[in-house]
Structure 1
């Protein structure tokens, strides 16, 4: 190396020598020799490799992570400036052209899910403004209860807070990807330019919430917009009103369903005099059956619809042509059609794609309206049938007009409705919340715009029209010392909705994936689509409904219903979006994220599991308010409606007053009256009530809680909720069915929730409710509590209700004592007894007379700080657990359960690891030997390992 360097210097000096003196050349050579190393080392063939290192004196440096470090490459921004060495974890692109690549593209690579757990958060602060930017698949988003309330938004939100106020912006491409790809490779299945699944059109959610947040004052405005976009159109052709795909086929039929709005009453609906308007021009269709040999005739075919399904029963014949298979109906001699009860009428209007006009092909149909003469309690719903990709290509029915109240059948009126597919929905809201010096105010007003357009032949010139609804409410309360007065008023339109209905035949491309929720038989993406329509298996219609307010009655991180549930194969990386642990509203009093009646999350209510049953009771034994009179505790209701503060089609008010009871400082009384009407559905609920409550503590002895409520109720508005009915596990009204369990019942111990009709037991009633609970804690380590609830419903004689008295008495008593006889040994005897008696005078309800008795003994002994031995017995040879039913004595049984286990809790790589090794012996014997096949008698050995993190609180 040294020799080579000298040669280079010498050659350079020869080139420059004519201009340099000899002395200067010598000086340069000498200086070069001084600065160069003098030691020379011979080149060896030996390969030394990595040196020896002892990590006792220096920290060990780990290799780059396999999941992240080895994939890092230089990353640049759009201007070509270097950002960092890293990887792409999320990318969104929106094209508004055909070239180079049309469509809406989202990439969520593997590292987005595996390394970042599908959540990215960035933050900054500047001159008093704090901002946080969030991207995630499950982002909590709420503006107001009537506009935006999502437990798991798949999108982005930007939160800014400044002095005196805040601003929140949200956006989401809500329709695609609709499910997670194999191994979480979303970008390869849902978003690559080279794949056939690139979305050409998409649906977006955008929203903004601006509010001032001062001490005691919260006021602001909100804007929420859902709209459909088309990447094949220019940017100025895509507005917040939305659009329809630029490619598609026009409808062949516009279908009007005429239904009895309230099937339970005695008033039906009548219809006659149909007129079809095409681009504003009236046409009287020919009343006849459809003939596919003459498809251009403007016909009106009338059929019976017994199913009232979400779509009309469109069908295809052997030649794949769309036909109407139902029999055409003729009108009555008076010239009208009539329906009452569950059956409905379907009016099939054959619509052309063009009408005579300018040009050789005529004028494209851009507007379709139907005018009818209707009478009675009618409801008009609209749908279309088109030659799409599905076996039953139709759009969902939507309500376009309905009668108010319960009018008579004789008065006809003309009603005109316009058909269109939904393109967008906009919600504009203003709210004021106040809590200052004893004044409380909570209010909101919303204007709701639903945009629609007819999907005609010319999709480039859509005529978008809107249907406006509104909603408002106000709650006020004034506290003056111990006196409180207040009230509320509200009005939610009957057609108020926060949903956007999207029909997209491109969704059929997902059918070939076994992990898709669109694949038969797990057609989870269309929960409102029946399994059978007109006796035929229903195929997916490629429709998704997006709602900006969740149905999330139990207020957990999972919506009760969602368009994306769970992929069928867990190996594909599917996640649970729809509630995987069941819906248990109002049953998480300790706020630990688990329902109180199912703490171990095994789908079996704890009140039926040995040992766990000591701490929980079935709903029939608990007390709670029932303001809507459907027999279910309000905070435990599970319905199928979005969680608005008031149901749609409700209008009313409520006034109340509350004050201490003189002479009883620990008691208070309240009086109130509320009235609710259902303007479209019909019906009214009026309730006047008087309530007294006392909660007294006896020092060193215990406490006593007493509640009495007297109500005068006149309520004929039905409020259906989900229930489990006569489940073999649920204990209401009996613990076991009269026959052996089916395979489905064995696999689903909680049963399958079904929507149960409101029994409407308070059409005209005087209701007395009394609840008392006492606790005794005078003796150390001894705890006793007894509770009792008594209801008496004295029904008055009205049109649909006879005079009757319904009584319900439920009692629960339990006691436990902790005894430490030796060292750390703990012996805990427990006993619990429950009884319910439900009956009436004339036998119109299902009576219940049952009793439970559970003697329990627990023993615990810690061997060390990590290991302990535990044992328990529920029932003994001399004192068994018993169930007695006086109405059905053949279901009486005795039961014994014995369990012993070794429990160890250790730390391993930062996790808490618990090991349970044990043995269980269980016996259940029915007293009626005709049920001996339902006896239980088994031994069970078990080993269970649980890993988790130590709770912080």
Structure 2
């Protein structure tokens, strides 16, 4: 124990009841500030290092926010150093919720290079920037909960927190669910508290011969002055991704917030895809606060379409179009944005020798920055790629070699760049 405190406690209880179409859930929890599941250990010389987490402690509960095979700890002990390779020189990326295929590579950078896929020519058609993703933010730090990463052991509830959460609801119509709830939690060592009343409406419906509609609306009234700081994965163009500390802007100290998302995937015509997404977040301050706008908002809109045309057995032509609009304003510590991108893709693919393909591509971009006209540009990208798929010792090898050149035409200046590449991917089927 600790002097004056013989022990530290962690308690929790969950109760759930479901009887279609109704459901009810309640939870209560309390984790003392001094609660811990680590112990001090000696090094090879028998000495204790009380200041170094990497060398001096062994944690029995892993920090593994992304739920992969590698714990997230920076630890000296081999059993807890799995997040590091090559003698702790290469850090395995930590991006919760952004590796849905569990291949250890971010879904935003599947070719593992210096460019996120949503900003890389041709790949950007399929991958949308993270600002357009929807999710719940129950701790009110403006980051979707399933994408959060911290440096704490993965306890069911946070250390130094006590509180409860109750919600109930029903499937009011087939495919339509309504949930209402109340959450209250507070810190034990500080005079800080988070209280919210919230509601979630979801709709998911398939229309035969037409497509799929999704709608989510998450509304809440919040008073939250508990800072939930994070360490988030971030990748900017021309650099390898890495962990960046994120400070909770405390945007919801007395706030009415709403996050709405709607998407429709049209599949009514064979070989034609038409995808539409809209996200709209608002944070309205219920009283005046220095340094905060009355309303912070984020509006994201994506429309994209592609059509696949086949000529004979070996020739494939695929025109694509993508439009993206983003308006973000009033968020403390970030720059306001108001941008429009219109992008046309033309891809020609010709098959040779069964498993070898030649690809030619042209991408045209019209970019407009509504807040800073000097950032406006028109862009052209030309690309050539030779691809081959082969079998080798039980693996499926995909080899790509090619060349790409890009030109951006700004007012009074031109920016040009070229890249030659060769990649080999190995996988199993």
What's 1:712 paired with?
A: 221
Change in Cα spacing, 1:764 to 1:775, as seen in structure 2 (3 Å) is same
1:782 pairs with 2:262: no
- Contact 2:376–2:411 (CA under 8 A) maintained in structure 1: yes
**In structure 2, distance between residues paired with 1:607 and 1:764:** 35
The one of 668, 671, 679 equivalent to 2:177 is: 668
How far has the Cα of 1:652 moved from its partner? 0.8
Change in Cα spacing, 1:500 to 1:888, as seen in structure 2 (3 Å) is farther
What's 1:873 paired with?
A: 362
How far has the Cα of 1:685 moved from its partner? 0.5
Larger relative strand fraction: 2
Describe how 1:691-730 pairs up with structure 2 within 5 A. Answer: 691-723=200-232, 728-729=236-237
Change in Cα spacing, 1:943 to 1:720, as seen in structure 2 (3 Å) is closer
1:950 pairs with 2:428: yes
Change in Cα spacing, 1:689 to 1:822, as seen in structure 2 (3 Å) is same
How far has the Cα of 1:927 moved from its partner? 3.3
Change in Cα spacing, 1:715 to 1:506, as seen in structure 2 (3 Å) is same
Change in Cα spacing, 1:582 to 1:802, as seen in structure 2 (3 Å) is closer
1:497 pairs with 2:36: yes
What's 2:86 paired with?
A: 575
The one of 559, 563, 583 equivalent to 2:75 is: 563
Alignment deviations for residues 876-923 of structure 1 (CA, whole Å, 9 cap, x no partner): xxxxx1332222333333332222222222334444444333222222
- Contact 1:469–1:493 (CA under 8 A) maintained in structure 2: yes
How far has the Cα of 1:798 moved from its partner? 6.2
**In structure 1, distance between residues paired with 2:416 and 2:293:** 45
The one of 288, 308, 314 equivalent to 1:818 is: 308
Secondary structure of the residue aligned to 2:174 is strand
The one of 312, 327, 339 equivalent to 1:850 is: 339
Describe how 1:423-822 pairs up with structure 2 within 5 A. Answer: 467-502=6-41, 504=43, 506=45, 543-564=55-76, 575=86, 580-602=91-113, 604-661=115-172, 664-723=173-232, 728-729=236-237, 746=238, 748-750=239-241, 752-797=242-287, 804-822=294-312
Change in Cα spacing, 1:813 to 1:577, as seen in structure 2 (3 Å) is farther
Higher RCO structure (Cα 8 Å, ≥6 apart): 2
Scaled by the length of structure 2, the TM-score of the pair is 0.88
- Contact 2:94–2:233 (CA under 8 A) maintained in structure 1: no
**In structure 2, distance between residues paired with 1:711 and 1:718:** 18
How far has the Cα of 1:492 moved from its partner? 1.1
Scaled by the length of structure 1, the TM-score of the pair is 0.41
Secondary structure of the residue aligned to 1:773 is strand
Gapped runs of 5+ residues in structure 1? 1-240, 242-399, 401-416, 419-465, 509-525, 529-541, 567-573, 730-745, 876-880
Describe how 1:142-221 pairs up with structure 2 within 5 A. Answer: none
**In structure 1, distance between residues paired with 2:255 and 2:21:** 32
Change in Cα spacing, 1:601 to 1:799, as seen in structure 2 (3 Å) is closer
- Contact 2:109–2:115 (CA under 8 A) maintained in structure 1: yes
Secondary structure of the residue aligned to 2:310 is coil
**In structure 2, distance between residues paired with 1:844 and 1:920:** 36
How far has the Cα of 1:503 moved from its partner? 5.6
- Contact 1:712–1:765 (CA under 8 A) maintained in structure 2: yes
Secondary structure of the residue aligned to 1:587 is coil
Secondary structure of the residue aligned to 1:552 is coil
- Contact 1:581–1:603 (CA under 8 A) maintained in structure 2: no
Change in Cα spacing, 1:646 to 1:604, as seen in structure 2 (3 Å) is farther
**In structure 2, distance between residues paired with 1:649 and 1:891:** 46
Larger relative helix fraction: 1
Change in Cα spacing, 1:884 to 1:749, as seen in structure 2 (3 Å) is farther
Task: Report the RMSD for the aligned CA atoms in angstroms.
Answer: 3.1
Change in Cα spacing, 1:945 to 1:594, as seen in structure 2 (3 Å) is closer
How far has the Cα of 1:792 moved from its partner? 2.0
How far has the Cα of 1:578 moved from its partner? 8.7
What's 2:81 paired with?
A: none
How far has the Cα of 1:577 moved from its partner? 6.6
What's 1:937 paired with?
A: 417
Alignment deviations for residues 663-718 of structure 1 (CA, whole Å, 9 cap, x no partner): x4221111111111111133111110122122222220112111222211010100
Larger radius of gyration: 1
How far has the Cα of 1:590 moved from its partner? 3.7
Change in Cα spacing, 1:603 to 1:563, as seen in structure 2 (3 Å) is farther
What's 2:401 paired with?
A: 917
Gapped runs of 5+ residues in structure 2? 79-84
- Contact 2:165–2:182 (CA under 8 A) maintained in structure 1: yes
- Contact 1:559–1:579 (CA under 8 A) maintained in structure 2: no
How far has the Cα of 1:576 moved from its partner? 6.7
**In structure 2, distance between residues paired with 1:595 and 1:845:** 24
**In structure 2, distance between residues paired with 1:576 and 1:874:** 42
**In structure 2, distance between residues paired with 1:485 and 1:900:** 56
Secondary structure of the residue aligned to 2:45 is helix
How far has the Cα of 1:755 moved from its partner? 1.7
**In structure 2, distance between residues paired with 1:691 and 1:912:** 44
Change in Cα spacing, 1:754 to 1:501, as seen in structure 2 (3 Å) is farther
**In structure 2, distance between residues paired with 1:928 and 1:469:** 66
